[in-house]
């Protein structure tokens, strides 16, 4: 009977608390990683939408920008100058002949 009391088969309360602490820290780290990925995904969606709107405006040539100008085309011993108009927004531009 004395031998049964001296045996230590099983975990102590310190070991159990350490396991619970490690598990809870792992779950909290996973939660914060998921939250960060959701935020990055939302930022990527916003950037993609802004890019799509800007490139669409440049391609449709609907929003005329005020700084129009001239383009000089040089080739085969000829020089040609034409007036152009810029379109677009958010650093996405296109142009056409005026």
pLDDT in tens, 30-67: 999 999 999 999 999 999 998 888 777 777 766 666 66
Instruction: Supply the mean pLDDT for the chain.
Output: 82
When pLDDT is averaged across residues 71-95 and rounded to a whole number, the result is: 80
Rg (CA), the chain: 34
pLDDT confidence of residue 27 = 97
Q: Which distant-in-sequence residues (6+ apart) come within 8 Å of 62 by Cβ?
A: 87
Confidence of residue 12 (pLDDT cuts 50, 70, 90): confident
The domain segmentation of the chain, as residue ranges, is: 11-97
Q: 41 or 75, which is more confident?
A: 41
Q: How far apart are CA 74 and CA 42, in angstroms?
A: 46
């Amino acid at each position: 009977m004395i031998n049964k009391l001296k045996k230590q088969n099983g975990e102590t309360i310190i070991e159990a608390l350490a396991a619970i602490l490690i598990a809870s820290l792992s779950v909290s780290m996973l939660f914060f990683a998921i939250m960060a990925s959701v935020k990055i995904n939302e930022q990527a969606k916003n950037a993609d939408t802004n890019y799509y709107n800007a490139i669409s405006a440049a391609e449709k040539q609907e929003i005329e920008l005020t700084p129009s100008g001239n383009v000089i085309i040089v080739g085969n011993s000829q020089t040609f100058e034409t007036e152009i108009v810029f379109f677009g927004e958010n650093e996405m531009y296109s142009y056409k002949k005026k």
